[in-house]
């Protein structure tokens, strides 16, 4: 497994994203998978890729058995486990390999996807012809992304470029990159918001550092 995620709604359920291209749902009180879903679809930009690894999966924060995944296929795929066909509820080709995905708690159809191209794309999975926003500022692949549990427009991301960035993903924002942190001397590997301390997040890097970050403590982007 490349990642795991506990459901905030379905008691005792968790999912795992696998190197075999499968999204597997487990119940904590059972010793076998409840559901196995195969990655489907492939973005034309990565159509020649041999692998179908899934790098991340995340449960919907408020709607029971709904998940989103991201991986080598270059698609954001949404699954509704209530559907008897076990077919994707939505699948959007983003154009690049995706390394992470995050739901917006306050806009139930909105997801953020972290790409190897160095940007974070915001998608409305109901109308996925084009992204709502492309957040550009990282110079290397984005390894992790997370919507704030406190504000519908705040997004944090971290990257191989060692930086952690705070974005304003609101549609009326003139400059989406709000602040950046240079907390790590090696790859910034993951980032997460605190569910208790409003506006506080933390990042971890390959340098072994865990950095706590707060709005106002980082540097402003140039210009």
Q: Which domain holds residue 110?
A: 3-213
The pLDDT score that the predictor gives to residue 100 is 96
Asked whether the predicted pLDDT for residue 208 surpasses 90, the reply is: yes
pLDDT tens track for 76-128? 999 998 888 778 888 888 878 999 999 999 998 999 999 999 999 999 988 87
Residue 212 corresponds to which tokens in the numbers above?
A: 């706590």
Give the CATH number of the domain where residue 177 resides. Answer: 2.130.10.10
- Let me know if residue 85 belongs to a domain: yes
Q: Of residues 33 and 40, which shows the higher confidence score?
A: 33
Asked whether the predicted pLDDT for residue 170 surpasses 60, the reply is: yes
What b-and-e string marks burial along 19-55, b requiring 16 or more CB atoms within 10 Å of the CB?
eebbbbbbeeeeeeeebebebeebbeebeeeeebbbb
Selection from 2-6, 13-17, 185-189 with the highest mean pLDDT: 185-189
- Let me know if residue 110 belongs to a domain: yes
- Let me know if residue 221 belongs to a domain: no
pLDDT tens track for 42-73? 555 554 455 578 899 999 998 878 999 999 88
- Let me know if residue 188 belongs to a domain: yes
Residue 91 corresponds to which tokens in the numbers above?
A: 């699948």
- Let me know if residue 219 belongs to a domain: no
48, 111, 153, 180, 207 from 104: Cα distances, Å: 31, 6, 8, 21, 29
The pLDDT score that the predictor gives to residue 68 is 93
The pLDDT score that the predictor gives to residue 51 is 58
- Let me know if residue 191 belongs to a domain: yes
The pLDDT score that the predictor gives to residue 34 is 85
Cβ-contact 112, 155 below 8 angstroms:
yes
User: CB pairs under 8 A, 24+ apart, for 105-111?
Assistant: 105/61, 105/62, 105/147, 105/149, 105/152, 106/151, 106/152, 107/152, 108/60, 108/62, 108/63, 111/68, 111/76, 111/78
- Let me know if residue 179 belongs to a domain: yes
Question: What is the chain's mean pLDDT, rounded?
Answer: 87
- Report the number of distinct structural domains present in the chain: 1
- Let me know if residue 166 belongs to a domain: yes
């Amino acid at each position: 497994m490349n990642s795991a995620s506990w459901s905030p709604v379905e008691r005792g359920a968790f999912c795992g994203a696998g190197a075999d291209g499968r999204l597997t749902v487990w119940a904590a009180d059972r010793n076998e998978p409840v559901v196995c879903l195969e990655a489907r679809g492939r973005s034309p930009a990565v159509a020649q890729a041999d692998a179908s690894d899934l790098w991340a999966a995340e449960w919907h924060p408020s709607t029971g058995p709904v998940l989103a995944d991201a991986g080598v296929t270059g698609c954001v795929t949404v699954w509704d486990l209530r559907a008897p066909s076990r077919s994707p509820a939505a699948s959007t080709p983003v154009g690049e390999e995706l390394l992470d995905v995050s739901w917006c708690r306050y806009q139930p159809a909105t997801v953020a996807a972290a790409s190897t191209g160095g940007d974070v794309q915001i998608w409305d999975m109901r109308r996925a012809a084009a992204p709502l926003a492309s957040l550009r500022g990282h110079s290397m692949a984005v390894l992790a992304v997370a919507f704030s549990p406190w504000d519908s427009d705040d997004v944090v991301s971290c990257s191989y470029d060692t930086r952690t960035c705070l974005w304003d993903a609101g549609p009326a924002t003139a400059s989406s990159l709000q602040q950046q942190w240079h907390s790590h001397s090696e790859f910034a590997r993951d980032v997460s918001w605190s569910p208790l301390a409003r506006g506080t997040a933390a990042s971890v890097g390959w340098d072994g550092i865990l950095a706590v970050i707060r709005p106002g403590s980082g540097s402003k982007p140039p210009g």
